[in-house]
Amino acid sequence: MSIQTVGIIGAGTMGNGIAQACAVAGLKVVMVDIAEAAVQKGLATVAGSLDRLIKKEKITAADKDAALARIQGGTDYELLKQAQIVIEAATENHALKVKILQQVDALLAPEVILASNTSSISITQLAAATSRADRFIGMHFFNPVPMMALVEIIRGLQTSDATHDAVKALALALGKSPITVKNAPGFVVNRILVPMINEAFFVLAEGLATAEDIDAGMKLGCNQPIGPLALADMIGLDVCLAVMEVYLKEYGDSKYRPCPLLREMVAAGRLGRKTGHGVYAY
């Protein structure tokens, strides 16, 4: 299958990042969201990101204009009919994703691939909710999408080889470095990463060190580019909590219990950079 047009559901951080990566690679993009304001915000974010690349002399103004011209935004799922693959990048909520995927599944031609950008939800379960389980796959991008090379390609139990190969080829066409993983809660990277972040919150809650020293220790001692608590603020504390709750439910292992401090901060609305306050103030 030759993918020329990519449909994206969700114009938020991940959705607009995927849109930018696809458009810069020369693909046509259709990005839909439930509200026109969200679509316009997503398009503005892409434009701003491209402006920063111009300042760094990584692209030209003409490259920016060409990329933006390849992105069509809207609120009507009918727009997705022109795509050969549709990537769902909605909020990390199982019921919401199933609702969206079933609506879109009913609209698309049988040969169209459906993918989810989920970071923790079962691809096998999501696939089973559609009529195209063999053409359903996980395509987990990492934030910020335009900068991060990794894409986890997650095969559900039903995913066909042809679907996997087409999506791997798409990832490579975007200039990404894909890895193929089996379906399991958290897949590979987040299975390791988010429990580490959760443990950093336990260390903070126990008063073993300040947030600054915890992050400095992991940066200097483990050569991480950003400390786990600062990374949590970037990801969103609510997202970290949701992922840990999925692990606890799916694995039934107490080692995945979310730190009470993480729960409390989410309850207080301190979600990180997106709210201006998380572990750190922004």
Which residues does the annotation mark as catalytic? 119, 140, 152, 190
What is the rounded CA–CA span in Å between residue 2 and residue 23? 16
191 contacts 184 by C-beta, under 8 angstroms? yes
6 contacts 31 by C-beta, under 8 angstroms? no
What is the rounded CA–CA span in Å between residue 156 and residue 51? 38
What is the rounded CA–CA span in Å between residue 194 and residue 183? 17
Helices and strands in the chain: count of H runs, count of E runs? 11, 8
SS3 (DSSP) at 268: coil
How many CB atoms are closer than 10 A to CB 98? Answer: 16
Cis preceding-peptide flag for 144 (omega within 30 of 0): yes
| Residue 207 region by backbone torsions, left for phi larger than 0, else alpha for psi between -120 and 50, else beta | left
